[in-house]
Amino acid sequence: MLKSVALVVNRHISRGLVEPVVKRILKWLEVRDASACILDATHTTGECPICPENVLDNVDFALALGGDGTVLSTARMVAPAGVPILGVRLGQLGFLSEIEPHDLELALEKLERGKYFLEERRMLEATVMHAGQMVYSGICLNDVVVSKGVLLRPVEIGLDIDDERVTAYYGDGLIVSTPTGSTAYSLSAGGPLLAPDVNGVVITPLCAHNLFARPLVVGLDDLIRVHLLKSQKGTMCILDGQESHPLDEGDEILIQASPDVARLVRFTRWSFFHVLREKLGTRDA
């Protein structure tokens, strides 16, 4: 039985698209004497003035109303509380979303009756160290990106795996992605696709000035150390393309598996390859 639901809304989507969906959900919940709160997808720490403090402690489900970006921000917000996420596709890309708006009431009924299963997606934790002190830490579902600034000058990055030096990259930056994130920025940069159940991480260099700089797949439980050997003004550590922290020359980014897991609500057991064909436009032979 549903008692409380969090609606995570992408305020950058047209109000004419979002408001009717929110009203339908609130009406459905009101009939069943269930409560709801509304969270802003841009408040990824969960600190939203619309909701009381610690609201996620009693939430049964989080409905992410938007595209994949909204699901990503919702995951960072609710994964530490273990709240399952149902993605409702209102954006252009719905690789992670489960339902369309016209299926909303049916989906809510399935949630109420327990007619669903949870697909767990591993997440990453990134910690920025400056002069030996932690200055930033965050989690992500897709990827950690170390990216140069707006100037057309490369950065130099050293890569260690479990305290062993692997290589150094001289280029625009580096992407460290989960299997979930392997279908996103890393894919566009030439990285491989990983099925969601693969226990690995993809490390993809960005425009590296080296003939032999290629994507690398390592274990999800390995400790990845990224050293900023040579930096430019504006170099950033970016989580899921949404949260960022400035980097200085000499900073170190520690990347490892997060204890938090994104729990995605699923109603149908589609295979990963079926989703690839449907969402990424691959063709049958």
> How many whole angstroms separate alpha carbon 232 and alpha carbon 235?
6
pLDDT for res 43: 60
210: confidence class by pLDDT, cuts 50, 70, 90: confident
Please give the CATH superfamily to which domain 123-260 belongs.
Probable inorganic polyphosphate/atp-NAD kinase; domain 2 (2.60.200.30)
Higher per-residue confidence, 188 vs 276 = 188
Neighbours of 50 (CB within 10 A): 12
Active site residue 197: no
Domain locations along the chain: 4-116+267-279, 123-260
- Where is pLDDT greater, at 48 or 231? 231
Model pLDDT, residue 11: 81
> Is the confidence at residue 50, as pLDDT, over 80?
no
Find, among 23, 17, 24, 19, the residue nearest to 109 by Cα. Answer: 24
Q: Given a cut of 90, is residue 280 above it in pLDDT? A: no
pLDDT-based confidence at 282, cuts 50/70/90? low
The mean-pLDDT minimum among 59-68, 144-153, 175-184 falls in 144-153
Is residue 119's pLDDT more than 90?
Answer: yes
The residues facing 143 across adjacent strands are 177
Cα–Cα dist 117/127, whole Å? 32
Give the CA distances from residue 224 to residues 32, 114, 170, 187, 246, in Å, rounded to whole numbers and listed in that order: 48, 39, 18, 20, 19
Residue 15: band (very low, low, confident or very high) from pLDDT cuts 50, 70, 90: confident
For residue 53, is pLDDT > 70?
Answer: no
Q: For residues 186 and 238, give the distance between their C-alpha atoms in angstroms, rounded to a whole number.
A: 13
Stretch 207-213: mean pLDDT, rounded?
Answer: 89
User: pLDDT averaged over the chain?
Assistant: 91
Per-residue pLDDT at 33:
95
Among 60-74, 150-164, 245-259, the minimum mean pLDDT is found in 150-164
- 284 pLDDT tier (thresholds 50, 70, 90): low
What confidence tier does 181 reach under pLDDT thresholds 50, 70, 90? very high
Question: DSSP readout, the chain?
Answer: ---EEEEEE-TTS-HHHHHHHHHHHHHHHHHTT-EEEEEETT-TTS--TTS-TTGGGG-SEEEEEESHHHHHHHHHHHGGGT--EEEEE-SS--SS--B-GGGHHHHHHHHHHT--EEEEEEEEEEEEEETTEEEEEEEESSEEEEE--SSS--EEEEEEETTEEEEEEEESEEEEE-TGGGGTHHHHTTPPP--TT--EEEEEEES-S-TT---EEEETTSPEEEEEEE--TT-EEEETTTEEEE--TT-EEEEEEEEEEEEEEESS---HHHHHHHHS-----
CATH architecture group of domain 4-116+267-279: 3-Layer(aba) Sandwich (3.40)
Instruction: Judge contact between 41 and 74, C-beta under 8 A.
Output: yes
Of the candidates 40, 68, 143, 240, the residue annotated as catalytic is 68
Least confident of 64-78, 80-94, 161-175, 268-282: 268-282
Q: Structure pTM?
A: 0.92
Query: What letter represents residue 266's amino acid?
Result: R
